[in-house]
Amino acid sequence: MATDPRIRPVSAADLADLPATAARERIGDGALRAGEYAAACLRRIRAREPEIAAWVHLDEAHVQRQAEMLDAYRATGAPLGALHGVPVGIKDIVDTADMPTENGNALDAGRRPERDATIVARLRSAGALLMGKTVTAECAYLAPGKTRNPHNPAHTPGGSSSGSAAAVASGMVPLAIGTQTGGSVIRPASYCGVVGFKPTFGLIPRTGVLRTSRRLDTIGTFARTVEDAALLADVLAGHDGHDPDTPTAAPPRILETALTEPPVPPQFAFIRTPAWVDVDADCAEGFAELCDALGGRCDTFDLPTIFNEGAAAQRRIHLAEFAYHLRPYQAHGADRLAEETRAAIAEGGTITTVDYLTACDWRETLYAGLEEVFERYDAIITPAAPGEAPVGLHSTGSAAFNVLWTLTGVPAVTLPLLTGTNGLPVGVQLVGRRHHDGRLMRTARWLVNMLTAS
């Protein structure tokens, strides 16, 4: 049996691999200083950043000053926040008052926001150490950034939250923030071999985050464990009066629920979405083995043909709103934007009002069909991506296995449970019912533990 990482001694050499949940406990108990943890992460960054290029802004002196302040605060004996001393990477479309936020594009080079995004303010209140800004695809769309896959730098890390996924996968930070409008959390998490969590739409506020689609943009979390991803989501979640899509109800206790045992073993629906035609052969084989391992706890079926409308509807909404929100960039410097961004704005501008509103109607129509699935099953199992990360850095890969869940606003989490023929990770995506994020993460934790034990 493996030793519990929360209680075993951790050497300076592997301190950067300490999970966030374990680190916050040790810092709270006085067994670890925030400065030690940050220093270990900085050593890892120095060692791996030249190859991976996960960061667009990182100031070691600023990191050290934060750590000193956090250790000084702990010495006062005052109550500590949920992430006291834990380093977090921030996707570079999220405003930070003490660091540049450049949105991955040349037009925003050197941009310094006047105030923090709501989620950054919540991180500070929780005592998190803001390590720096991670690379994003331009304007959180398709033009790749400089980041490479930590498992093989010849392969894409995915996108658009490429830097966040790669930074967590390589042990540079235990936690990072990303965003998803199509597949920008789940896909890079799959390619980089980490846990990626996209919560229910609206659970985490987007005030101070580059807006590309009001109806689709979702804040997500990256971590190396289900528990850590839930911990970060708990800190970020909750109503924000400046984001009308956030619920007014009290935020769910995702980690608390995730740490409980299911009352009965979960039931899974392995669903072949319309994207299944694009799945790699080894990925299909891996999911067949996973379903066999679950035995009677997993049923397999295809979605009705009406779900074929989902991808097109998501694309229309995304591009129409992308063109609307990013028109100032097009007007003031189109020649400095990547071809992918210019093409998206141009296509979005051709979508008619009728087509756009019709696409919006599909959101609730398709979710009603999913509700019938969730009446019988705890979670849907489906690939997070067609397979391993593709070779090359010219593309961020396919979001075909993500867009339906983003459109319908359901929570999704990818787990690094499979490996492809090239030795690269392949994620298993679990999808849950809206506003049942804690239950989804509990089911995810059960699945990881079950497969680990077997």
What is the residue-wise DSSP string for 60-95? Answer: HHHHHHHHHHHHHHHHTT----TTTT-EEEEETTB-
Q: How much is the pLDDT for 114?
A: 97
- E strand segments, 63-207: 87-91, 129-134, 175-180, 195-198
Q: Mean pLDDT in each 10-residue stretch from start to end of the chain (454 residues)?
A: 42 84 97 98 98 98 98 97 98 98 97 98 98 98 98 98 98 98 98 98 98 98 98 98 96 96 97 94 97 97 94 98 96 95 98 98 97 97 98 97 98 98 97 98 98 88
List b or e across 267-292, with b for residues whose CB sees 16 or more CB atoms inside 10 angstroms: bbbbbbbbbbeebbebbeebbeebbe
The CA distance from 88 to 164, in Å, is 9
Q: Catalytic residue at 184?
A: yes
The CA distance from 223 to 238, in Å, is 20
Is there a domain that residue 236 lies in? yes
What's the pTM value of the predicted model, to 2 decimals?
0.96
The CA distance from 297 to 433, in Å, is 18
Read off the CATH number of the domain in which 341 is found: 3.90.1300.10
Q: Which of 161, 162, 184, 190 is catalytic?
A: 184
Is there a domain that residue 212 lies in? yes
Is there a domain that residue 12 lies in? no
The CA distance from 129 to 123, in Å, is 8
Q: Catalytic residue at 161?
A: no
Is there a domain that residue 302 lies in? yes
Is there a domain that residue 271 lies in? yes
Work out the number of other CB atoms within 10 angstroms of the CB of residue 409.
21
Is there a domain that residue 69 lies in? no
Count how many domains the chain has: 1
158 alpha carbon, distance to own chain's centre: 11
The residues, any chain, with a CB within 8 Å of residue 133's CB and separated by 6 or more, are 55, 56, 57, 58, 89, 90, 91, 92, 94, 96, 99, 100, 101, 102, 163
Q: Which of 133, 160, 170, 190 is catalytic?
A: 160
Q: Catalytic residue at 454?
A: no
The CA distance from 42 to 60, in Å, is 7
Is the separation of the CB atoms in 364 and 119 below 8 Å? Answer: no
Is there a domain that residue 13 lies in? no
Is the separation of the CB atoms in 141 and 98 below 8 Å? Answer: no
Is there a domain that residue 78 lies in? no
Which helix (DSSP H) or strand (DSSP E) does residue 414 occupy? strand 412-419
The residue type at 144: P
Residue pointed to by tokens 């998803």? 180
The CA distance from 247 to 36, in Å, is 38
The residue type at 374: F
Note down the domain range covering 109. Answer: 49-58+86-454
The CA distance from 98 to 126, in Å, is 17
CA end-to-end span of the chain: 12
Q: How much is the pLDDT for 6?
A: 38
pLDDT, tens only, 135-146: 999 999 999 999
